[in-house]
Amino acid sequence: MIALALRRMDDAKTPADIIKSLKENAIFSEEMGMYWNDINAGYYWQQAPIETIALLVEAFDEVAQDAKSVEALKVWLLKNKQTNDWKTTKATTEACFALLLRGADWLAKEPAIEISVGDMKVDPKKLPDVKVEAGTGYFKTSWSGNDIKPAMGNVSVKKGDDGISWGALYWQYFEQLDKITVHETPFKLSKKLFIEKNTASGPVIDPVTEKSRLKTGDRIIVRIELRVDRDMEYVHMKDMRAAGFEPVNVISTYKYQDGLGYYESTKDASTNFFISFLGKGTYVFEYPLRVSHKGDFSNGITTIQCMYAPEFASHSEGIRVSVAE
């Protein structure tokens, strides 16, 4: 704000120094654009990330005429909207002003995207019953059954113009739960089981493996480690459990730990976690179970998905557990 004000008062030196300092402290990412780690939401008037970045777009455009930085800041605004809700009409207005009236006009022409799935070119104009959304160029198509070939695992996307584009490819298939391997996106999930034992020095936990032999009555601790590389809102995490396990926490309730608030809901075959806001970082969830039946069971997997941006989903690997007499 100071840089813009002084620039409009014909001060050439000070605004340039301010912009130089801002750029030196910025973080540049090919995917996320240009941003600053210390821009956080809060209760004070200046703690408004969307309005702040929109104002920075104006400053870099008007004061520095730095087209590259302006485009990178606009990328951050759009990537933020991909996984977050712009909270107020003021924030939305400021962001739209920055995106539409500063830098290059991304809506001046239709996006030029070339998509190849295997040896097949995906042209929405030639696909039946596919409508391309005006302005954004969004479209959706699918294949199923015998239409899917091994070569379709090779996907290439080429963008022929400036601006930002993103998409998602979903592969749905059937597999035994204990044979599923880890799938990583901006989410990274790790699920482990531990058996809790009482010793002379106090309770200790040992990891449960497929070679472990549990007994009915054993107390099991489920530990889920979640890593996320960006802020997300409206996140649902579902943790399946083996049929031979019964939850100790049976009452659904809101919980708060390590700066994260979430609602934990216990169901017949899984425990669900509903998270309104998930900030960038690492989180650990733990809850206890009791071994109730003998047998050989699949422990299932943990899945997580951003409901606001469903293309961001991930799951942990699955294992089997054995319960002896």
Lowest mean pLDDT segment, chosen from 54-63, 96-105, 107-116: 107-116
> Could you please report the per-residue DSSP string of 203-269?
EEEEE--TT-EEETT-EEEEEEEEEESS-EEEEEEEEE--TTEEES--S-EEEEETTEEEEEEE-SS
pTM over 0.75, yes/no: yes
Half-sphere exposure of 255 (CA within 13 A, CB side): 17
Using an 8 Å Cβ cutoff, are 224 and 264 in contact? no
Each residue of 189-233: pLDDT tens digit? 999 999 988 888 888 888 888 788 888 989 999 999 999 988 999
Per-residue pLDDT at 325? 67
**Look-up: residue for tokens 């379709």?**
152
> Edge-to-edge strand order for the sheet containing 187-199?
202-207, 187-199, 219-228, 281-291, 245-247
Quick one: the chain helix, strand, coil %, rounded to 5?
A: 25, 35, 40
Of 95, 3, 13, 83, the C-alpha closest to 49 is 95
Q: How far apart are the C-alpha atoms of 129 and 63, rounded to whole Å? A: 48
Residue 284: partners with Cβ closer than 8 Å, 6 or more residues away: 223, 224, 225, 226, 258
Highest mean pLDDT among 48-52, 101-105, 144-148: 48-52
Per-residue pLDDT at 201? 84
Q: How far apart are the C-alpha atoms of 180 and 190, rounded to whole Å? A: 13
Per-residue pLDDT at 124? 83
Per-residue pLDDT at 105? 80
Architecture of domain 177-324: Sandwich (2.60)
Would you kindly state where each structural domain of the chain is located, as residue ranges? 2-101, 113-159, 177-324
Per-residue pLDDT at 9? 93
Helix segments in the chain, DSSP class H: 2-8, 13-24, 49-62, 67-83, 89-101
Q: Give me the chain's average pLDDT, please.
A: 89
Residue 96 pLDDT > 80: yes
Lowest mean pLDDT segment, chosen from 44-48, 159-163, 241-245, 276-280: 159-163
Rg for the chain, CA atoms, rounded: 25
